[in-house]
Every structure is written in C-alpha cells, then in structure tokens.
Amino acid sequence: MNRSNPSQSGRSKGLVNAGADFLQLNPADAPPGGLSDWLTESLRAAISDGRLPIGSRLPATRLLAAELRISRGVVTEAYQRLTEDGHVAGRGRAGTVVVAVPFVAEPGVAAGRITPPVVPEPGLDVFDSLRAAPARIDLTPGVPDLAAFPRAAWLRAERAVLSDLDSSEFGYGDPSGTPALRRAVANWLARNRGIAADPDDLIVVAGVSQAIGLAAQVLKDRGIREIAVEDPGSLGSRQHLQNWGMRTPPIPVDDGGLRVELLRESGVRAVMATPAHHFPTGVVLEGERRRELVQWAADGGLIIEDDYDAEHRYDRPPVPALRAMLADQVIYAGSVSKLLAPSLRIGWMLPPPQYKAALIGMKRLADLGNAALPQLTLAHLMESGELERQLRFLRRRHRTRRDAMVDAIGNYLPSATVHGAAAGLHLTITFDDTLNDVDLAARALQKGIKTHPLSWHCQLPHAPGLVLGYAARTPTEITEAISTIAEVIRS
C-alpha cells in the first residue's frame, strides 16, 4: 500500500536535478505521489543484489533527505518499512543497519542474485545454502551455543598437552584414534551412558556423519542395500546413507518412538535410530518398544544407534543407550558436536567385533585418521572433569532458553502443538494440515528468522510444522523470533 500522501509529494518545491551519491538515487525516477514506495523498493533491491550487504549502515534519515531534497518523513517511512520486513534494524548510535536479505523480490524490484534456500524438495546442498543465508535470528536446530565454547579451558588443556607431547606423536598415528582419547571416551561412556567399552574397540571419527558413511560402506560390501530410517527423521542422516547407495525405507515414529512392529514387517535387516532423543520430534523410545527393538536385533537385525542429544536433558532421567543392552548387534555413534562445537569434527563409533576391522580400514582410506592434537586436547578436558562442568553449565543455560521458547509459543502461537521439550537443543511445533510449512519457513526467512520446515525431515505424510533450535539464542531473541513467525502466519 502506498502510504505517501498523494497531495504532498514530499519533494522540495522548485528544486530539480536532486540526487545522492548513495546508490546514485535520483527522486526524479519516482512516480508522482510514490516517493516512499520508490525509495523503499530501491533500498530493498540494493540489499537483495548485494550493493548493501549485511552489516551495511544506511545514511541518517536527515542526511539522506537533504541529499535527495525530499522530506525527512519519506526517508523515515522507507526505513520503517524495511524494519518491519526484517531487512534493517536500528542499532542506536550505530544507526540503521542491514541485517537480512530479501530472498524473494517484491513486485517492481529487480530480482536478487540469491537463490531461496527453503525449497519443497531439498537437495544435497540445502544445509550449506541455508547456513549461508543471512538472518537476524537463527533458530536452526542442532546448533549448540557456540559463544559458550570453553576457550580458556581448551587453551589450558592444549598447553598442557603440548608441554608433554613427544615429537614422535606429530607423525601419522593410528587411524582409529589416539589411545588417550579412546580411553577418555570409554570412561565418558561408562559414566554418562552406561556403556562398558574397551578403548581398543572404539574408533574416533569426524563426527556422527562420518560414522554413518563408514557404516554404510561396510554394510554395502556385505550385501546390505537398505537401512530403514525413522520417519520423521533427520534429512541429513538420510542423505548420507543415500550418498553411499543405500535405500532408506521409512518406519513411522509416534509418541512412543519407532514403530518396531512395522520395522519387523518391512523385512529390512538394518535400521538407524535415535532412541535417546529422537530427531526431530524429541520423543524417547519407550520401554516396551526398546525391548521389542532389542529382540528384533537379537533375531538378526542390526541397529545403527545415533546417540543424538543424549546428554542434554532437563525434565526427565537419563535413558541408557541401546548399545549397553545388546553390544553385538549395535553400531553406536556419538560426538561432541552438540556439546562443544561441530567445527571440532570429533566423534566416535563403537561397533560390534565383526565390523571393527572393516570400519578401521574404511577410516584409514578416508583420511588416515583424525588430527591428533584436538583429540589429545579433548581427552584432557574429559579426564580433568572440565567437560562435565561444561555440560552442567549448558544444561542450566539451555533450560532457560527452552522455557523462553515454550512460553513464547504459548503466548504467540497458542494453536501450535509443542513436541520434544524435555531434552535436547531444539523442539518441534506442528500445526493443522491447512498450513504449508515450507512456505512458512521461506516467509519467516524473508523476515530474518531461520528455521527448518518439518516436511524436510519426512518421507511419509505428516502434519506440517517447524523445527526450532533454541540453544544458541537469548530468551529475548527467541521471543522476538516466535512473535515474528506468528506475524507471518497471520499475514
């Protein structure tokens, strides 16, 4: 809607050839009575095509109005529209700053060079594209509070490691990982996950994603061509399996977790599961289902257990890992990506004895083993108790942020159903079937709020929804984000 008063053009009478060095704006290009529309669209186009990148500061309203020889009210209105759209934000003395890119150009505005990252059929690059997309508030699930990384503790541990490190340890090492980290992980699993593991049976990997890839390759060599997955279930994990030629038949998940009776009916020989904290719904595999799944494995099935978010719990007691119940039929995988930082690329897998040698061989061919110095530093953090102190600190912080999100959803999205709030770094909300969650996520991103549409993580029909991470955002940011999503739905 054109909110400029047609009878008051906003132009200074008697002045011609007005223009500004800033973006070479010339009000002579504006239609009569449409100065606010023209200026808003010109600025929006400059943000979209990269002439005004994220972090750019717009001129003060008084200064730009003087240069263009138009009323200050016209400039103020244009800035206000961009603020309402989430593309700019006031930063006090720092002025008005660009904070988000409009991914979909509005009518009359030149199309930008950015491809919308929220699409109905996500490709292999979807997470890279979404990660690169600018946003005011990023609610991407699975992202820990990176600002809470224990830098001082890490530096102390690294110095301690380097002071005692023999020069020979800078050479090529064991592809299955340094003995120090494998011992530390074995102790960690015993204390925190109820798993009795021999350090020699552990393999250090570059995160759970690499564990999935190595397992897929070894199983494929042994004649297994499909691995069942939970549905809803992680799109990223499914992509990793499919990358190695695996078919991924979906097995539905309900409030009790994986439908084991449907898994048995499918005839599939292997399944990937997140029993401690299912992604994305957050349900815990209930006791009877756990016993059914263990029996299915004992009858010849194989479980790839992604111990996702197992340590991050707030309102429920710890759940033991399946690996602790049936060692010979479970390939167990975990990491510190959600506890410290994904960039460390440190995880571990604990395979049954019959797969160990083949997996180490695949790891050797993949990268000759993880970098030794980060492994030794992490081992020092684990053995010193520093990592457990970090976990206790994060639980308190995450609980506060989780509560802020639940409260905001109750206030601004009362018709949404909340799932998985008792643990983890994210929760999921679902809506009635009239809503398109891909469209909702795309429009929220245009407003500067980044989320995952639930349908990305589904192969079977499911209620639409959003997967919302809260660990990396402050309560104020979380409340603002949920409020913005509610505005998008109302519009």
In the prediction, which pLDDT does 301 show? Answer: 97
Closest CA to 380 of 174, 191, 97, 185: 185
pLDDT digits (tens, 9 = 90+) for 328-351: 999 999 999 999 999 999 999 999
In the prediction, which pLDDT does 109 show? Answer: 34
Q: What's the whole-number average pLDDT of the chain?
A: 90
In the prediction, which pLDDT does 18 show? Answer: 57
Residues 6 or more apart whose Cβ sits within 8 Å of residue 403? none
Whole-model pTM: value is 0.78
Alpha-carbon gap, residue 348 to 336, rounded angstroms: 9
Alpha-carbon gap, residue 45 to 288, rounded angstroms: 57
Q: From the centroid of its chain, how far is CA 344?
A: 16
In the prediction, which pLDDT does 251 show? Answer: 98
Which DSSP category does 247 fall into?
A: B
The one-letter code for the residue type at 426 is: H
SS3 letters across 415-469: CCEEECCCECCEEEEECCCCCCHHHHHHHHHHCCEECEEHHHHCCCCCCCEEEEE
pLDDT digits (tens, 9 = 90+) for 261-312: 999 999 999 999 999 999 999 999 999 999 999 999 999 999 999 998 888 8
3-state helix, strand, coil in the chain (%, to 5): 45, 15, 40
**pLDDT < 70 regions, the chain:** 1-19, 102-116
- Domains in the chain: ranges and CATH: 22-98 (1.10.10.10), 126-143+389-490 (3.90.1150.10), 151-384 (3.40.640.10)
Question: Tokens standing for 362?
Answer: 């695949």
Question: Tokens standing for 404?
Answer: 């802020």
In the prediction, which pLDDT does 112 show? Answer: 38
In the prediction, which pLDDT does 1 show? Answer: 43
User: 53: cis peptide before it, omega within 30°?
Assistant: no
What are residue 469's DSSP bridge partners? 426
Cα dihedral: 366, 372, 373, 375 (round 10)? 90
